[in-house]
Amino acid sequence: MSVEHPGLIFGPVRSGRLGASLGLDLLSAKICSFDCLYCEVGATRALTTKRKPYVPADKLLGELAYWLFHDHPEFEVVTLGGMGEPTLNSDMGRIIEGVRELVPGVPVAVLTNSSLVSDPQVRAELCQADILLPSMDALVPLEFNAVNRPAGGVSMVDIRRGLLQLRQEFTGRMYLEVLVLAGVNDSEENLERLAAFCAELGPDRVDVTTMTRPGAYPQALPAPPATLEHFRQRLCPLTASQVEVPEKARHFAPGLDNSTGDGLHTMSMRVLDSLARRPQTLSGLASALGLPEEPLRNLLDELLRRGLVQATELQGDIFYFCGRN
């Protein structure tokens, strides 16, 4: 059982914003336009802004169709994301169309670092989704470069302008994320600029977060609670409640019996696919995958013994991960 090339379909994982989210990996490798200090997937291996079909639509949709054909957990939304920046995949529009055909009535969400939203073609493809979750961590140039470490040619000014244009064109829900690191992008100047931008953008909600898992670089440190609260009071005082997915949009399927050999193998693959994308604690992984903690603990012990999973400690919590070399 290898984890070097995790599947293109992962989850479902439990998301506070989206509910049970079935993930699609549009890159299948750490290919990104940013090399963010905090990235939980690890350092970017290919820093680029070049769009091409890194994972062809036919391949990804074929894997999704195969996954749907077999017993699988229920999910409420399909989320395009994965190990890199999904808008780099030039087949993104075809993938969204294909998802709608395979799971009609289920919302499609896209996670994006916003780096390519100045491109009209990218915006047109993003507008096919139901929910967009763009990021904007800094509007002070030095802080933007320090926290996001963009590829050459990526302009903070163009990102700002592109997001404002996207907001005018997009008819779905937009949830802006701001991730704050201690001593990197936590200045008052950045907060003031972000506050003005959020007022102009008018997203449906703003989520201010910090690192909760080990990041790509050791200088990335989580912002303290007081800083987060200060940012939240300015940026999201009227944040709406978490996304509610209509009952009819949920995709139900028979549950898995993890006591059987097939069930245990399926659980192992789900765990490995999830840990290949981000480090997680036992409780976080159990919540994300909807699995009981005790059998999951036993499985993680076995995966550790076999060298398929590694563990590290951060602020008193044990995080499990794999595939970050």
Residues 194-218 have pLDDT tens digits of 999 999 999 999 999 998 888 889 9
Could you tell me the end-to-end alpha-carbon distance of the chain, in angstroms, rounded to an integer?
Answer: 18
* CA 26/CA 299 separation, integer angstroms: 28
Structure tokens at 245: 């997915």
* Alpha helical stretches, state H, 218-320: 225-235, 261-275, 282-289, 293-305
> In whole numbers, what is the pLDDT of the chain averaged over residues?
85
Q: For 175-187, what is the mean pLDDT?
A: 97
pTM score of the predicted model: 0.76
The pLDDT value given to residue 19: 86
- Helices 188-201 and 225-235 cross at an angle (nearest 10°) of 30
**For 116-131, how does the pLDDT look when each residue is reduced to its tens digit (9 = 90+)?**
999 999 999 999 999 9
Is the CB of residue 274 less than 8 Å from the CB of residue 11?
Answer: yes
Instruction: Band the pLDDT of 308: cuts 50, 70, 90.
Output: confident
The pLDDT value given to residue 238: 52
User: Domains in the chain and their CATH numbers?
Assistant: 9-249 (3.20.20.70), 261-321 (1.10.10.10)
The pLDDT value given to residue 242: 36
Q: Is the pLDDT of residue 310 over 60?
A: yes
* CA 2/CA 110 separation, integer angstroms: 28
